[in-house]
Amino acid sequence: MRSSRIFFAESLATQARTQGRLGFDTTFFTITASVLEMKKVLFLIVLSFFAQNAFGQAAPLTQAEYVRMLYALDADPRKKADVIEALRKRGIAFVVTDGVRSVTRTKGANDDELKRALEEAERRRQNPESTKLPSTTESAALIENARKKTLEAVEEMPDFVVKQQIQRSAAYAGTNNFRNLDRLVVAVSYKSSGDESYRVLSVNGLLQPATESRGSYEGVGGTSSTGEFVTMLATIFKPESQTKFDIVQTDIIRTYKTFVYEFQVEKDRAKQAITAVGTSTESTITGMKGRIWIDSEIGRVIRVESEATEIPANFPIRSARRTIDYDWVKISDERYLLPLISDVRLTMREKLNVFETRNVIRFKDYQKYGTEVKILDDDIKPEP
């Protein structure tokens, strides 16, 4: 299997813009009547159709309808996005019981996004007012406040060291049936200039010889990633990225009440690079889209999900996704919002098979720069 890595590179030229068009096909039937009566009949039919269609879109999902959609995933797992969209746009008209949660886990391949969408729909059902979205003006103000605070935090970031516990696994794409490959412990040094350096301390519990720090941990092979600390958020929020934001829902993450925005950065401004290493090394620049969760009280991002866009059709890696959760940590008695856990997934084709790799990265023991990163007992225990 190929080695691969995902990181951020310098921009190309100016932003590429695309436009789309939505078309409608109309079928007319001949009705035996006078011209005037025909016009009235056609008008009533069209009016009735659109009224029913609008009502159908607005009506919350019934439990029977939701369960049917879940069972349809057996035949086509790609319809998961449709289920999530229906939960977010329409909501639900039923109580979420343990039985509903169980069938969601089973038929949804234990997908985290689907489970979160269901729980948020339940919160909206119970208390619609508390999950009400802000107005367009308020939403824009929230984004500008988050932009200001994020970019200020980037400038104020200290030098530090942190330990990464990395569980790497792989599965046939679409099955979510991951099997562990190895477990790494990596010491990371971060400087306020934005420089990151990595040193592999152990592989599967075996201590590694002392080596110089490098710009990534790709030397051990397999999937690696960088840029979790500030690079991604800085890319999303800096004005020159011209990121498009759309508020979509509310959510609760680790007790934080949040507003969720979808975002998109075009290829020539995203500055994201993906590299595949096999018999040869191939790299490409991609766009980026995803979602951010902004704390409604303090205006800071506590979760980001991103997905590479505009990947060339002939590139070995077919998709690249990353989720980063942030939380407050102390470094030299000062509080900073830094990564808590990251989930990196790459999908790639190898001959007739399509594989998905997954790196779950836990960030442990943030300390001031220059502190020795030590291996502890829990560092060498494999994840279940």
SS3 54: helix
In a domain, 253, yes or no: yes
- What span, in angstroms and rounded, lies between the C-alpha atoms of 9 and 146? 24
Taking residue 354's Cβ as centre, other Cβ atoms within 10 Å add up to 14
In a domain, 221, yes or no: yes
State the sign of the Cα–Cα–Cα–Cα dihedral 269, 288, 161, 300.
positive
Q: Are 115 and 172 within one domain?
A: no
Q: Are 156 and 77 within one domain?
A: no
Q: Are 119 and 227 within one domain?
A: no
Q: Are 151 and 226 within one domain?
A: yes
**What does the pLDDT read at residue 249?**
87
Taking residue 130's Cβ as centre, other Cβ atoms within 10 Å add up to 10
User: Given the DSSP bridges, would you call strands 244-253 and 160-172 parallel, antiparallel or unpaired?
Assistant: unpaired
- What span, in angstroms and rounded, lies between the C-alpha atoms of 308 and 338? 22
Which helix (H) or strand (E) is 295 found in, with range? strand 281-295
Q: Are 73 and 218 within one domain?
A: no
Q: Are 275 and 177 within one domain?
A: yes
Angle at 322 between CA 317 and CA 323, to 5 degrees: 165
Q: Are 165 and 126 within one domain?
A: no
- What span, in angstroms and rounded, lies between the C-alpha atoms of 242 and 244? 6
- What span, in angstroms and rounded, lies between the C-alpha atoms of 114 and 124? 15
- What span, in angstroms and rounded, lies between the C-alpha atoms of 359 and 339? 14
In a domain, 339, yes or no: yes
- Of 131, 163, 182, the residue that ends a domain is 131
Q: Are 350 and 260 within one domain?
A: yes
Question: Please, is 79 exposed, middle or buried when counting C-beta atoms within 10 Å of its C-beta (0-12, 13-18, 19+)?
Answer: middle
Q: Are 254 and 296 within one domain?
A: yes
Q: Are 116 and 195 within one domain?
A: no
Count of domains for the chain: 2
SS3 113: helix
Q: Are 70 and 116 within one domain?
A: yes
- What span, in angstroms and rounded, lies between the C-alpha atoms of 94 and 82? 19
- pTM, full prediction: 0.77
Residue written as token pair 């059709």: 313
**What does the pLDDT read at residue 58?**
64
Q: Which residues in the chain show pLDDT less than 50?
A: 8-57
pLDDT in tens, 300-317: 999 999 999 999 998 989
